[in-house]
Amino acid sequence: MLNSVEKPVYIAKLAKETESTYAHTFRLISKLEELGLAISRDEGRIKLVKLTEIGKALADELSTLLCLMELAEVSAAITTLYEREVKGHLREDIKKETVLTRLEQYGKKLNRLADSKLGIVGELTKKELKKVDEIIREVKGLIVG
């Protein structure tokens, strides 16, 4: 959350949005400050925090890593679905509704990832979306596979 805003954020708001306690969030912010990844300031009884340039860069990289992990999970699920339910089966034996529903769900996850990231995540996500489309076409009998 901190990497998506430019203005300082209340620690209490961070705690609430991350479903953490104020004390735990405060300790984490203190550690980030020690590492030079965040800065904070007091406004009366309220503490505001913001990421430094290095902190924002690190948060962006971590976000990319998380997206790649999610992409890997979805890709593996697509491959498993194809191997178990489509490959080597006659079209009339494929549980089309089940397979198409699952592919639609994977497509939604991939589209969300594609919308959130550019660069390598976007490129890899587009390849996976193409794979989903090819499997859908095969299941529907629109291509010979």
What is 10-53 written as a DSSP string? EHHHHHHHTT--HHHHHHHHHHHHHTTSEEEEEETTEEEEEE-H
Per-residue pLDDT at 3: 58
SS3 9: strand
Per-residue pLDDT at 5: 57
Instruction: Show the tokens assigned to 17.
Output: 């949005």
User: What is the architecture of the domain spanning 2-51?
Assistant: Orthogonal Bundle (1.10)
Other C-beta atoms closer than 10 Å to the C-beta of 2 total: 19
pLDDT of the chain along its 145 residues, tens only?
Answer: 555 557 889 999 999 999 999 999 999 999 999 999 999 999 888 889 999 999 999 999 999 999 999 999 999 999 999 999 999 999 889 999 999 999 999 999 999 988 876 788 989 999 999 999 999 999 998 765 4
Q: Where are the domains of the chain?
A: 2-51, 60-140
Its pTM stands at 0.77
Tally of CA atoms within 13 A in the half-sphere of 4 that contains its CB: 6
Per-residue pLDDT at 117: 65
Per-residue pLDDT at 45: 86
Per-residue pLDDT at 145: 46
Per-residue pLDDT at 91: 86
Per-residue pLDDT at 120: 87
Question: CA angle 120-121-127, nearest 5°?
Answer: 90
